[in-house]
Structure 1
Amino acid sequence: MIASVHDLAPIVGMTAACQALGVPRSTVYRRQRPAAVRRQRTVRRHPRMLSPDEQTAVRTVLNSERFVDQAPRTVYATLLDEGISLCHWRTMYRLLRADAATRERRAVRRHPVYTRPELLATAPCQVWSWDITKLRGPQPGVWYSLYVVLDIFSRMIVGWLLATHEAALLAEQVLADACLREGIVPDQLTIHADRGAPMTSTVVADLLADLGVRRSHSRPTVSNDNPYSEAQFKTMKYGPTYPDRFANLANARAWVTAFVDWYNHVHRHSGLSLLTPAMVHSGTANAVVSARQGVLTAAADRHPERFVQGPPTSPPVPTAAWINPPLSMAAQPDDPARLKRNS
């Protein structure tokens, strides 16, 4: 294109040629200039800098058998006492740092970067969440451990166990019973939990590997990575029938049995369009929603003047449940696969 401008410029002029061909004149003139010769920068050596031979001498002393395990300050002071001055101890540190020969002296634990778990369930028995909560016993210092396994799509409590303590073997028992009862097959299910001792135990890991169940764990100290279990515990402990203390283990077990039955079959869950977990888990939720819609439509037909914004509609059955939806999806509240409420 530049060559065409040069061919046309003697006939119509440079300005007209550039306008006709859509080329800026500044580009044409810039291309005509000879290429600038770049001068190589010379690295100027600071006058107070140690010479290469002096640096080699310092490194030899620092790496010698006598001083290899000594701190540069100790080496500096020892050499001064012997009438030798090679350089300041700060310079020794700089040379060692350049050779990657320094590190934190203390055995400081390096915390790894944990991946943000992102789990999606579009049907029951795809993702389960489980956790352990404490129930107060008859007196201070006495606690009962309640293990609860929850299906995050249907919010159904698919397994629970109450014991006097936490143990990996008890966790193995409640998970194995739940998988057997729900007919879990290999590569069907992901089980999510936090990083407590029973959750990360070898016993539980071996069980899930034998069953073909994938494991997922929350990031340390991030309770939002396990929202469904936390929300279920709040529903339980903030309920009007939850006692301040349980008289004994049998009393606690009887109360939890009644609560689980209520939660699964009676509780109208706000995150499930006011359906019960059992309805969603068993696949009858769509029929219930259709029946509700029929009732609403009949009410609108009887009194259309009461529905100024049109006939009411029953909320649909949620189609997806996320643990940490992708950040791009979380910014779109109208996405059909948005995160369901946890309450």
Structure 2
Amino acid sequence: MGGRRGRLITQDLRDLAVSLLDEAISDGARRSEACNVMDISVRTYHRWSDSSCGDKRKGAVKKVKRKLAEYERQEILRIACEDRFVDCNPYQIVVTLLDEGVYIASVSTFYRVLRDADMIHHRKRSYPARKQNKPPELAATGPNQVWSWDITFLKTDVNGIFLYCYMIVDVWSRKIVGWEIHESESSELAEQMFRRLKIIHKLEGIRLHSDNGNPMKGGTMIMTLYALGVIPSFSRPRVSDDNPYSESLFKTLKYTAGYPKYFKDIHQARVWMADFVNWYNNEHKHSGISYISPAQRHCGDGSEIMEKRNKVIRKAISKTPERWSSDQKIWEDQKHVYLNPSLETKKQLISA
């Protein structure tokens, strides 16, 4: 049985060698000595004795116990092509058979066999699912680097008639940097708003994120943004999580105390919104930026405020140290803010 390593020894020769070795061992021979006579190792004897052992070389034809026989595959195809299943998918076929007390194969097996037979197709008016690429990761380390904007409706006292609030928020500081209220939503009004913002802010290089609404993706709107030096990015269709800062702002807006259920007219809406924006920017203690106001963070006062808080805590600890644990809260000013962070960035933020 000896020879170079790696050469194939047929199953018949293996079975013969194993039977001769078993006979010698049963007659009193030592296993190692009997294997030496056959010029094989004890380990090889054990491997050959395993009935499931076959040709394990790469690319060799292997016998899979769970593999369907050809007649079973043909039976699946025959059943799937029956007239009563002409409008049924494999899920419906399998459960129908189960209700009849018949089991042929699993749903995934039906799909696999039908796919191999080129019988899985989308109908004329349906299209295969398309993967929507996630919007790019945007990182802000200071104000006026990344903005987010959206439009929300405001109810009036006439059922079915709404006002529309255009609002832009700085992602890093959460400050509302621009807002307007109109009686309609259109890309033309959005263009005019950003042109007016050009007077107040330096827009060149700002990354502006929004959803996929028509006012945001109008052809002239996008050209206006590029002309102003603004770089737009967009959420995936029907994925609100891609624009979380605007969505969070609108929730704060509509759940704040004093928010009217209805607005009588556009003048009342603009007056109320001006008061809200002033409160939100200058007085609101925002939980996402360590409970300072957006205006304080936008002006760069966050680090000084955090240090002052920590100083007060250290002073309180020195007076009554027995009341404090070793892991008391340390106030920190968040240096980096991410919009649509990648999986790697999320892991880094969690481990930090």
Task: Note closer, same or farther for the CA distance 1:127–1:238 as it changes in structure 2 (3 Å cut).
Answer: same
Contact kept in structure 2, 1:329 and 1:335, CA below 8 Å = no
Per the TM alignment, residue 119 of structure 1 is displaced from its structure 2 partner at its CA by: 2.1
Q: 2:334 aligns with which of 295, 318, 322?
A: 318
2:338 partner amino acid: W
- What SS does the aligned partner of 2:305 have? helix
1:109-188 equivalences under 5 Å are 112-117=130-135, 118-185=137-204, 188=205
* Partner residue, 1:224: 241
Which deviations, in whole Å up to 9, do the C-alpha atoms of 1:286-320 show, x marking residues without a partner? 1121222222223333x224542149554111122
CA distance in 1, matches of 2:182, 2:139: 31
1:267-282 equivalences under 5 Å are 267-282=284-299
Matched, 1:213 2:230: yes
- What SS does the aligned partner of 1:198 have? helix
- What SS does the aligned partner of 1:318 have? coil
Contact kept in structure 2, 1:159 and 1:177, CA below 8 Å = no
Q: Structure 2 stretches of 5 or more lacking a match? A: 5-31, 33-40, 45-55, 62-114
- What SS does the aligned partner of 2:214 have? coil
Task: Note closer, same or farther for the CA distance 1:103–1:292 as it changes in structure 2 (3 Å cut).
Answer: closer
Task: Note closer, same or farther for the CA distance 1:193–1:299 as it changes in structure 2 (3 Å cut).
Answer: same
* Partner residue, 2:36: none
Contact kept in structure 2, 1:145 and 1:163, CA below 8 Å = yes
Q: 2:206 aligns with which of 185, 189, 196?
A: 189
Task: Note closer, same or farther for the CA distance 1:39–1:168 as it changes in structure 2 (3 Å cut).
Answer: closer
- Aligned-residue Cα RMSD (Å) equals 3.9
- What SS does the aligned partner of 1:275 have? coil
* Partner residue, 1:292: 309
2:237 partner amino acid: P
Contact kept in structure 1, 2:317 and 2:324, CA below 8 Å = no
- What SS does the aligned partner of 2:153 have? strand
- What SS does the aligned partner of 1:145 have? strand
Contact kept in structure 2, 1:149 and 1:175, CA below 8 Å = no
Q: 1:304 aligns with which of 316, 320, 329?
A: 320
- What SS does the aligned partner of 1:295 have? helix
Task: Note closer, same or farther for the CA distance 1:305–1:165 as it changes in structure 2 (3 Å cut).
Answer: same
1:37-116 equivalences under 5 Å are 106-108=124-126, 112-116=130-134
- What SS does the aligned partner of 2:180 have? strand
CA distance in 2, matches of 1:140, 1:108: 37
Q: 2:260 aligns with which of 234, 243, 249?
A: 243
2:255 partner amino acid: Y
CA distance in 2, matches of 1:258, 1:206: 33
1:106 partner amino acid: K
- What SS does the aligned partner of 2:306 have? helix
2:124 partner amino acid: R
Contact kept in structure 2, 1:192 and 1:226, CA below 8 Å = yes
Q: Structure 1 stretches of 5 or more lacking a match? A: 4-14, 16-23, 28-35, 41-96, 337-343
CA distance in 1, matches of 2:60, 2:139: 59
Structure 1 stretches of 4+ moved >6 Å: 24-27
Identity %, equivalent residues: 35
Task: Note closer, same or farther for the CA distance 1:25–1:119 as it changes in structure 2 (3 Å cut).
Answer: farther
Contact kept in structure 2, 1:146 and 1:163, CA below 8 Å = yes
2:131 partner amino acid: V
* Partner residue, 1:67: none
CA distance in 2, matches of 1:146, 1:39: 68
Task: Note closer, same or farther for the CA distance 1:108–1:274 as it changes in structure 2 (3 Å cut).
Answer: same
CA distance in 1, matches of 2:231, 2:129: 24
CA distance in 1, matches of 2:322, 2:185: 56
Contact kept in structure 1, 2:207 and 2:231, CA below 8 Å = yes
Structure-2-length-normalised TM-score: 0.63
CA distance in 1, matches of 2:328, 2:125: 65
Task: Note closer, same or farther for the CA distance 1:104–1:280 as it changes in structure 2 (3 Å cut).
Answer: same
Aligned length: 261
CA distance in 2, matches of 1:175, 1:26: 78
Contact kept in structure 1, 2:155 and 2:163, CA below 8 Å = yes
- What SS does the aligned partner of 1:199 have? helix
Structure-1-length-normalised TM-score: 0.65
Per the TM alignment, residue 324 of structure 1 is displaced from its structure 2 partner at its CA by: 2.4
CA distance in 2, matches of 1:39, 1:243: 75
